[in-house]
Amino acid sequence: MKLARELPLRAAVLLIGNLGAGKTTLAKGIVKGLGAAEPEQVSSPTFTLIHEYGAGPKVYHVDLYRLEHASEAARLGLDELFDREAVVLIEWGERFPALLPAGRIEIRIEAGQGDEREITVSRIAI
């Protein structure tokens, strides 16, 4: 929840980690921390690609795992989401760097011992 409070009202946030690292679990915590939805209402958008939560603040949860080409991701209208006053959480976005805004936040999740995770947060400004 503390991480969610530190995010700007308008942000592109990449959630980076291996399959099963906890990206969706982290997204649930961020969505709850922003007051957009309860964790049980948040699910992986693997098949629908984009889920929308909240009225204000608005959160979009995007999962690009199933897409193979940048052209497929470009058709989703991500650039329109980035222009909105919203937090856009993106899983597997690092696969399509040309589609991402220059100014973004990257959260890397690495598995540790058992259920432990190491999380690194970076602000990218190109």
pLDDT digits (tens, 9 = 90+) for 63-89: 999 999 999 999 999 999 999 999 999
Q: Pick left, alpha or beta for residue 55 (phi over 0 → left; psi -120 to 50 → alpha; otherwise beta).
A: alpha
- The CATH superfamily of 2-76+83-113 is P-loop containing nucleotide triphosphate hydrolases (3.40.50.300)
Selection from 52, 120, 39, 42 nearest residue 84 by Cα: 52
pTM: 0.93
Residues of the chain with pLDDT under 50: none
CA–CA dist 22, 115 (Å, integer): 10
- Where along the chain do its domains lie? 2-76+83-113
13 backbone dihedrals φ, ψ, rounded to 5°? -125, 115
